[in-house]
Amino acid sequence: MTRKEEYESRAEALLLPILEENSFSLVDVEYVKEAGTWYLRAYIDKEGGITIDDCELVSRSFDAVLDREDFITDSYVLEVSSPGLGRPLKKDRDFERNLDREVELKLFAPRDGEKEFRGTLVRYSADDLTLRAESGKELTFGRRELALIREAFDF
């Protein structure tokens, strides 16, 4: 396990009780370096959507736990937010949450001359996923083929 993965895993374990206590769900935790600064980001959600007050509540509680545990050796910025519209699906729980929902995906390389597909997510595994296109045809894609997959939205 890399240091990044260890930090994300430990942070997630510390965050989950806070979220459960407040009836929130965890979407993702990521530890990333951007423009020379490390960020520990927690993306949270709840039925009806997350508010700024929800983010502040979780941030204060989580910050206190992180200060007490003090396992991240780098200086970092803590951010707690909603996942936002258009957030990529990355983890199995993202795929589980989006089963039977419409998603859009982009491939690294074209398939039959197309790189973008849209349909209902009907199945997924560690290796692939299947969409049902509007025509009813099922299309299976290897997860390694995917440049991006996210919930589809019509504006």
Over range 66-74, report the average pLDDT.
Answer: 96
Domain at 104, CATH number? 2.30.30.180
pTM of the model: 0.72
Same structural domain for residues 72 and 103? no
Residue 112 has pLDDT above 80, yes or no: yes
Residue 104 has pLDDT above 70, yes or no: yes
SS3 breakdown of the chain: % helix, strand, coil, rounded to 5? 30, 40, 30
Residue 110 has pLDDT above 90, yes or no: yes
Q: Can you give the residue range of the structural domain that contains 127?
A: 92-151
Number of domains making up the chain: 2
